[in-house]
Amino acid sequence: MKAIVYTGLACSWCERVKALLKDNDYEIEEITVNPTIMEELQTKYDKVIRTVPQVIIDDALIGGYNDVESLMRGTTSINKV
């Protein structure tokens, strides 16, 4: 399984979401955002995006840490809930 993680500099939530994904056996491709990348991401997913991290799995925009954590709940959850 592979996830693309859009990150920013000195972003603690970015580090947390990468750890969460790794703990759930995801291979991570990390992309550091800049204004051009953010604009391309917003255009592709037709959504206003103002924060990082942003996670994409199977070409679907999942969102930030809380969205990824919600996705991981269940038998593969890092929290085992």
Q: For the whole prediction, is pTM greater than 0.85?
A: yes
15-61: per-residue pLDDT in tens? 999 999 999 999 999 999 999 999 999 999 999 999 999 999 999 99
Regarding the domain with residue range 2-72, which homologous superfamily does it belong to in the CATH classification? Glutaredoxin (3.40.30.10)
DSSP 34-79: -HHHHHHHHHHHTS---SS-EEEETTEEEESHHHHHHHH-STT-TT
Q: What's the pLDDT at 72?
A: 86
Q: What's the pLDDT at 76?
A: 52
